[in-house]
Amino acid sequence: MSRPLDLGINQIKNLLIKMGQLADETLELALQGFFEKQDTYVRTKAWSNTILILAEEVEDRATELLALHQPMATDLRTLKAYIKIAYDLERYGRYAMDISDIMNRLGAWEKLEDEEVFKKLADSSKKCVDISIETIRSMNEKLIWELSKIEAETDILYLEALKILSDVDAPSKTVVAYLLTIRYLERIADHSSYVSEAISYAVTGKRIALR
């Protein structure tokens, strides 16, 4: 028979999966808006705020379980990890919203003729998000090493994109728009590593650092 604590932990996990799926959709929408020069800010802001509300719900539920039950060591690790993960997922949504807000803050800018590296970076960051969400769903710590490889590739693409922007002959507004976007994408990939590290801690009790 499942303990009330088990049911509560599973409910929190489902909330995290819901957060992750919404964050993934928010990032996809923000990137579509960036590369296609569409204003997606209103929707991404709404979704980002929803993710924030869910993150607060995760923290409240986890705190309630800690107060009402006597979690064993494994339960305690899981609850601590889930609180940490909720914050990282909230960052996904916030950075996606920031990407969509660039057009509002800077106004229209000219697209670079060659966006290949920037689109590769976007795809790589998105893949990091997808794997981190699957790691939460499956609690499979082996996925951590797959994510670590892709996150390292994301860092390489980020540096390559920085080099392009430092040398490109383009209006300053264009450079700023792309520079902000790649920085947000790099941070999203970082937080995907933090999610996986938290899952590893919950499952194995061991702390690892992917970066």
Q: What is the pLDDT at residue 2?
A: 67
Instruction: Inform me whether the pLDDT recorded for 6 exceeds 90.
Output: no
Report the chain's C-alpha Rg in angstroms: 18
- The model carries a pTM of 0.92
CA distance 104 to 98: 10
Between 182 and 71, the higher pLDDT residue: 182
Domain ranges of the chain: 4-204
Q: What is the pLDDT at residue 22?
A: 97
* Average pLDDT of the residues in 138-143: 85
Decide: 95 and 184 in contact? Cβ < 8 Å: yes
Q: What is the pLDDT at residue 1?
A: 47
pLDDT range class, residue 93, cuts 50, 70, 90: very high
Q: What is the pLDDT at residue 155?
A: 96
CA distance 7 to 141: 22
* Average pLDDT of the residues in 92-120: 94
Among the listed residues 132, 109, 74, the one whose alpha carbon sits nearest the alpha carbon of residue 181: 109
pLDDT range class, residue 206, cuts 50, 70, 90: confident
User: Helix/strand/coil (H, E, C) string of 91-152?
Assistant: HHHHHHHHHHHHHHHHCCCCCCCCCHHHHHHHHHHHHHHHHHHHHHHHCCCCHHHHHHHHHH
Q: What is the pLDDT at residue 172?
A: 93
CA distance 161 to 180: 11
Instruction: Inform me whether the pLDDT recorded for 200 exceeds 70.
Output: yes
Instruction: Inform me whether the pLDDT recorded for 104 exceeds 90.
Output: no
Decide: 44 and 29 in contact? Cβ < 8 Å: yes
Q: Please report, to the nearest 10 degrees, the dihedral formed by the alpha carbons of residues 84, 52, 136, 2 taken in order.
A: 90
Q: Which two tokens stand for residue 64?
A: 């309630």
Q: What mean pLDDT is reported for the chain?
A: 92
Q: What is the pLDDT at residue 129?
A: 96
Instruction: Inform me whether the pLDDT recorded for 150 exceeds 90.
Output: yes
Q: What is the pLDDT at residue 210?
A: 62
**Could you tell me the fold of the domain covering 4-204?**
Methane Monooxygenase Hydroxylase; Chain G, domain 1 (1.20.58)
Instruction: Inform me whether the pLDDT recorded for 164 exceeds 50.
Output: yes
Residue 12 has, within 13 A of its CA and on its CB side, a CA count of 28
Q: What is the pLDDT at residue 211?
A: 61
Question: Helix or strand or coil: residue 192?
Answer: helix
Instruction: Inform me whether the pLDDT recorded for 86 exceeds 80.
Output: yes
